[in-house]
Amino acid sequence: MRVVLLGPPGVGKGTQGRKLAHGCGWALISTGEMLREAVARGTPLGVEAKKTMEAGMLVSDPIMIEMVKERSAEPDAGLGFVLDGFPRTVTQANALDSMLQSREQRLDVVVGLEAPRDKLARRLSARRECPLCKRAYNLVSAPPRDGLRCDDHPGELLVQREDDTEHTVRRRLEVYDRQTAPLLSYYQGQGRLREVSAEGTMDDVYRTLAQALGCRV
C-alpha cells in the first residue's frame, strides 16, 4: 500500500508516519527528516537547504522530486510506503503520479490530517526530538521519562528543531495554506482523499488510521 500523509506543520504526520510504518511494515519516507539529515551531515544539498528550511520556505520541486524518486525505489519500499511531507505542491503531486504510473504502481490513499491552528502552534512549541534517533517527544503530551533525555538513548539530551521558533512556525503555516492545502482538492478530485481528525491523543489518531488502512492496531 502507498499512502500520503497530508496536513499542516504540527498535525502529527511524523508521529503517525512512524507508527504506521512500524505497524504496517511499510517504509517511512519523510522528506523533512531526509533534509535535516543532509543538513546535519553538511552535504551540498544540506548546505543549500538549510537557509530555506530555517526561513520556513519550501525546498525546490526538482530537488524534492528526485529525492523521493530515489528513496521510493529502494528495496524496503517495495511492500509499500508512507510519505510524510511529500508532495507539498501540485508540481510534486503530478510528479508522484507520473513516477508511480511509470512503475505500474498507484497511490492508494491520501490521508488529510487536520487540527485547529492554536493546537498546532502549542504542539510545535513543546516539540523536542532526540538528536540521535529523531524520535519526537512533546513536553506536554509525550514527555520523555526523565523530562530531558531520550528514553531510548539516555545519553542524549532532547533538542528543539531550528524551525520551531514562533516566527518560522507562522511562516510555515502560511506556506502550507498557499502551496500545500490546494492538494486537498487535487486528491479529492482523484477520489483518494480520506480526511481524519488529528485532535485526539496520538493513540486515538493512530487507532483510527490503522483501522482505516488495515494495519495492526
Cα separation, 190 vs 94, in Å, equals: 12
Beta-carbon count within 10 A of 167 CB: 10
Amino acid at 158: L
Q: Does residue 10 interact with Mg ion by CB under 5 A? A: no
86 binds, among ligand AP5, Mg ion, none (CB under 5 to 8 A by kind): ligand AP5
Q: Does residue 85 interact with ligand AP5 by CB under 6 A? A: yes
Active site residue 88: yes
Q: Please report how the helices 44-54 and 61-72 are oriented relative to each other, as an axis angle in degrees rounded to 10.
A: 120
198 binds, among ligand AP5, Mg ion, none (CB under 5 to 8 A by kind): ligand AP5
In the complex, minimum distance from the CB of residue 5 to ligand AP5, in angstroms, rounded to a whole number: 8
Q: Please report how the helices 44-54 and 31-41 are oriented relative to each other, as an axis angle in degrees rounded to 10.
A: 120
Cα separation, 24 vs 216, in Å, equals: 6
Structural element, H or E, at residue 194? strand 193-197
Q: Does residue 8 interact with Mg ion by CB under 5 A? A: no
80 binds, among ligand AP5, Mg ion, none (CB under 5 to 8 A by kind): none
Active site residue 161: yes
Cα separation, 17 vs 2, in Å, equals: 12
Marked catalytic residue, from 2, 13, 123, 128 = 13
Q: Which of 3, 4, 14, 183 binds ligand AP5 (CB under 6 A)?
A: 14
Handedness of CA 30, 32, 36, 38 (dihedral sign): positive
Cite the beta strand spans of 98-182 per DSSP E: 109-114, 127-129, 136-138
Stretch 86-125 residues interacting with ligand AP5 (CB under 6 A): 86, 88, 92, 123-124
58 binds, among ligand AP5, Mg ion, none (CB under 5 to 8 A by kind): ligand AP5
Q: Which residue ranges make up the site for ligand AP5 (CB under 6 A)?
A: 7, 9-15, 31-32, 35, 52-53, 56-59, 64, 85-86, 88, 92, 123-124, 127, 136-138, 141-142, 163, 172, 198, 201-202, 205
Q: Which residue ranges make up the site for Mg ion (CB under 5 A)?
A: 14
